[in-house]
Amino acid sequence: MPTPAAPLLTVRDLAVTFGVRGQRAVHAVDEVSFEIRPGQHVGLVGESGSGKSVTSLAIMGLLPKRGVRTSGEVLWGGRNLLTADPDELSRLRGREIAMVFQDPMTSLNPVVPIGVQVSEVIRRHEKADRREAQDRAEALLRQVGIPDPGRRLREYPHQLSGGMRQRVLIAIAIACGPKLLIADEPTTALDVTIQAQVLEVLKELVADTNAALLLITHDLGVVAGICDEVNVMYSGRIVESTTRNRLFATPRHPYTGGLLESIPRLDSPRGAPLRPIPGSPNQTIPWTEGCAFAPRCGNRIDECTSSPPPLKYEGDRDLRCYNPLSDPARAEAVQA
Amino acid sequence: MSALVSVEGLKVHFPIRSGIVLNRKVGAVKAVDGVDLEIEEGRTLGLVGESGCGKSTLGRALLRLSPVTEGKVIFDGVDVAGLRGEELRRIRQDMQMVFQDPLASLNPRQSVETILTEPLRAHGIAYDRRNRVRELLDQVGMPPSAAQKYPHEFSGGQRQRIGIARAIALEPRFVIADEPVSALDVSIQAQVLNLLEELQQKLGLTYLVIAHDLAVVRHVSDEVAVMYLGGIVEQAPSDDLYSQPFHPYTKALMSAVPVPDPRIEATRERILLQGDLPSPANPPAGCRFHTRCPFRQEARCDTERPELRLIGPGHRVACHYAEDIAAGRITAHEVTPEEVFAG
């Protein structure tokens, strides 16, 4: 096996805290570290409020300045994006790192034609005149599977369906051939058949352009289809991080395991009752006092509520748990 | 067993009007266009389809929350579509609804106790305030202390439990759940689905569960109907539908659902539909699905609308060529996506 390439993006000990002076601070993201190598597809999975979107916004430098404190490092080509100046960031955004947002209606400008919105990125980052940028925009729309792109360029977002709008966003994101594409819930607002179309487009594009992908989603099914590496987040921290195959075959963190068992699946026997995770995501204890998942956890031991579990390397994955689910493969090996 | 709810030739058309003075009707959005359904007492029918297919309108029409343009909705021998005033109000005691977004469907200024007793007051039913509220909360797995709280004090899952408690307050026989879990976090969905099943067993409820998530519908339903652009394209017992779907749309829909298992994701066959859902104001002639169907045949699919017909025990499908596709006599071909304009 060739030696792995140097990471494209390194996130180290990222922490984001929201709070106005005088009020209790909210630790939205804490101790988040991961790497993305060129061409790699990494998933960031979690429920609402787990900090996955805040992580992506912090990487892109899109968090508001007031009332937000960030610490740690986001390294891109040797530079720390958290401390980079705004001009440098805006040269980077759209060109080297691009983002696809969840809701295509709110992230497109409703009063500007599609063609202008797509070519804007090209004209901003590259020396291209209007004509040339329009031609490239047309080619991009064709690439993401929009029929009759020439006419669509002159239309406005409201004239397009949800799936088409999401394709336009993807076209904008890939316009300058970014090395990293961050997709934040790119298909959550779409119907299943349209979701399948858009995921297919996304998959083909990242394969063709060899861009790395950071996919943020709550849907484990979407992750299973695309990502090589998966980070599972709970209440602002990564609780389990490993390759896709290991994660789905042998989930070790009780939260990951619980999620996989509680989802009704098309391929499981129908009579089997669902085993839900008890409680709700807002029933947590602060990470400083123990494991945030402890109040809902079936594997809880005394340690879980007395000291915060560290993220430790456990042979084949990073795990933040004192009493993980057993690993069947390892149990067999020990017995043999 | 007899059907508690049966729907015959139901149509719900919303007029499109134009002009200020004359206000002429220039067309109609055919949200529901000729649906036949039966739900047996104590069973669950799942209704799946993509947004805009008319599934919610169908559910609302059963309760007469949407006007019925044509057809019958027979509930326990009475045609609900023809009722009005006091008679309609009385029959609604037996038919209740659980809505998608519990935050939007619960009044933020009412306490849980007020929310749960309002249906009883509205229908003039005498009740023991204390005990009835406690009993309802207990049935949905909430502590009695919840009675004095307000909706914003609860999490999404708990709010949906309150929404369910309100729906069963009148001891209805038939409950329509419109996307009961789609607004909830993944780890909470299973709790609410289990609660719905538990209540059905305890109270002998009949359900119509409307959802876009095939896995959810399959899990809770005895029978599943698949809807496309105002019509039902396939209906079958849950296990049959998922083990052997006949309609090309059902197949495509099922193959589009991501499965949280990379081994299955890597190997399974995908039918990728091209294009978008056509507008229900101007649905395609013939089979509504022909514009996106990979098995479409010349001359028949685009002119003749297929009837829902029996193809196996309890399994009905609306496709001219269902048998030929199943036997492999017709193979899939390329589809050029047809232009669809968003409203």
Summarize pLDDT for B102-148 with one digit per residue, the tens.
888 999 999 999 999 999 999 988 888 889 999 999 999 999 999 99
The ipTM, to two decimals, is 0.80
pLDDT at site A1? 45
Q: Are the CB atoms for A108 and A169 separated by under 8 Å?
A: yes
**Predicted confidence band at B342 (pLDDT cuts at 50, 70, 90)?**
very low
Using a CB-CB distance cutoff of 8 angstroms, which residues of chain A are in contact with residue B242?
266, 270
- Average pLDDT score over residue span B299-315: 90
Please tell me whether residue B306 adopts helix, strand or coil conformation. coil
pLDDT, tens digit, 9 for 90 and up, residues B139-171? 999 999 999 999 999 988 899 999 999 999 999
Q: What whole-number distance in Å separates Cα of residue B313 and Cα of residue B326? A: 16
Check CB contact under 8 Å for B194 and A273: yes
Nearest CA to CA, how far is B118 from chain A (Å)? 27
Using a CB-CB distance cutoff of 8 angstroms, which residues of chain B are in contact with residue A221?
257-260, 265
| Minimum-distance CB partner of A281 among B187, B193, B262 | B187
pLDDT at site B310? 92
Nearest CA to CA, how far is B95 from chain A (Å)? 27
Using a CB-CB distance cutoff of 8 angstroms, which residues of chain A are in contact with residue B261?
224, 248, 265, 267
CA-wise closest residue to B280 among B323, B229, B206, B320: B229
Nearest CA to CA, how far is B203 from chain A (Å)? 19
Using a CB-CB distance cutoff of 8 angstroms, which residues of chain B are in contact with residue A275?
190
- Residue A232's φ and ψ, nearest 5 degrees, are -100, 125
Which strands form A79-80's sheet, in the order they lie side by side? A26-36, A9-18, A68-76, A79-80
Domain B42-65+83-239 has CATH 3.40.50.300: yes
Check CB contact under 8 Å for A274 and B194: yes
Secondary structure of chain A in HEC code, one letter for each residue = CCCCCCCCEEEEEEEEEECCCCCCCEEEEEEEEEEECCCCEEEEECCCCCCHHHHHHHHHCCCCCCCEEEEEEEEECCEECCCCCHHHHHHHECCCEEEECCCHHHHCCCCCCHHHHHHHHHHHHCCCCHHHHHHHHHHHHHHCCCCCHHHHCCCCHHHCCHHHHHHHHHHHHHCCCCCEEEEECCCCCCCHHHHHHHHHHHHHHHHHHCCEEEEEECCHHHHHHHCCEEEEEECCEEEEEEEHHHHHHCCCCHHHHHHHHHCCCCCCCCCCCCCCCCCCCCCCCCCCCCCCCHHHCCCCCHHHHCCCCCCEECCCCEECCCCCCCCHHHHHHHHC
pLDDT, tens digit, 9 for 90 and up, residues B253-279? 988 888 888 888 888 777 888 877 888
The mean pLDDT value of chain B amounts to: 89
Q: Which domains are present in chain A?
A: 9-234 (3.40.50.300), 275-335 (no CATH)
Check CB contact under 8 Å for A163 and B264: no
Question: In which residue ranges of chain A is pLDDT below 50?
Answer: 1, 336
Q: Is the pLDDT of residue B338 over 70?
A: no
Tell me the pairing of strands B315-317 and B309-312: antiparallel
Contacts A–B by Cβ distance under 8 A: 151
Which residue(s) pair with B210 in the sheet? B47, B178
Q: Is the pLDDT of residue B340 over 60?
A: no
pLDDT at site B267? 81
Encoded tokens for B122: 């509205």
| Minimum-distance CB partner of B190 among A148, A222, A274 | A274
Q: What whole-number distance in Å separates Cα of residue A238 and Cα of residue B238? A: 38
In angstroms, the first-to-last Cα distance of chain B is: 43
Nearest CA to CA, how far is A227 from chain B (Å)? 9
Query: Domain extents for chain B?
Result: 42-65+83-239, 244-326
pLDDT at site B22? 75
Higher pLDDT, B192 or B328: B192
